[in-house]
Amino acid sequence: MYSEDDLLPISALQHLLFCERQCALIHIEQVWDENRFTAEGRVMHERVHEEGAASRGGVRIERGVALRSLRLGLTGKADTVEFHRAGEGPWRPYPVEYKRGKPKPDDSDKVQLCAQALCLEEMLGVEVPAGAVFYGQPRRRLDVAFGEKLRKTTEAAALKLHEMIAGGVTPPPCNDKRCRNCSLLDRCLPRAVRHSVDRYMGRVLADAEHPDEEKPQ
């Protein structure tokens, strides 16, 4: 169990799954550059949170719901939590996260949503079997089931996030196609840093293989 002081933002899981260096730059080095995409995303989340609670077709809708899990050491806010009820059964929370873009090739959106579900389960003591991500391009809602595999991936990501933040070390850049759309490209300098890291590692390996050779000064 983590204490209140150790809680990390759920949104950091998404950064971690996208690129570990991006996560470290934001959450260890406190670097953040807003670009058009991050600004649009931020405004969209703010609008959703401002809409307030509602009731529609037997579904209660809460917006901007505060979340916390001491088991995973996470805190954050759900854009929307719908409460569904079948007959006289219990109200089931159903988190819905809004994304301005399209579905990503990785699991980061699903992991972020699953982390919200795990927080709701811990806070409310009820099972949260599913939720949804609403994408803006094209506008569609993708249902997500919180199966065993996704739950394990989410728990492992939360643990890795805590280990990385506690270690305080920023990993080297991936320097691949992810960098093209990264808001931190200009601050990270992936190509230059990767080149330096590769040169350094080359020297370390050469030293290990030929320890007695004279080195140029």
| Residues 178/182/187/190 CA torsion (nearest 10 deg) | 10
Residue type, 89: G
Residue type, 127: E
> From the CB of 31, what's the least distance to ligand SF4, in Å?
9
Minimum distance between the CB of residue 44 and ligand SF4, rounded to whole angstroms? 22
CB of residue 109 to ligand SF4, shortest distance in Å: 17
CA distance 167 to 173: 17
Total length of the chain: 217
Nearer to ligand SF4, 17 or 128 (CB): 17
- Closest distance of CB 152 from ligand SF4, Å: 25
Cis peptide bond upstream of 172, omega within 30: no
Compare residues 17 and 72 and give the one whose CB is closer to ligand SF4. 17
Min. distance of Cβ 169 from ligand SF4 in angstroms?
A: 14
How many CA within 13 A on the CB side of residue 158?
29
Which residues here bind ligand SF4, judged by CB under 6 A?
19, 21-22, 25, 173-175, 178-179, 182, 184-185, 188, 190
Nearer to ligand SF4, 8 or 17 (CB): 17
Q: Are 71 and 1 in contact (CB under 8 A)?
A: yes
SS3 128: coil
Residue 61 or 189 having the CB closest to ligand SF4? 189
Neighbour count for residue 85 (Cβ, 10 Å):
12
Instruction: Specify the residue, 131 or 173, whose C-beta has the smaller distance to ligand SF4.
Output: 173
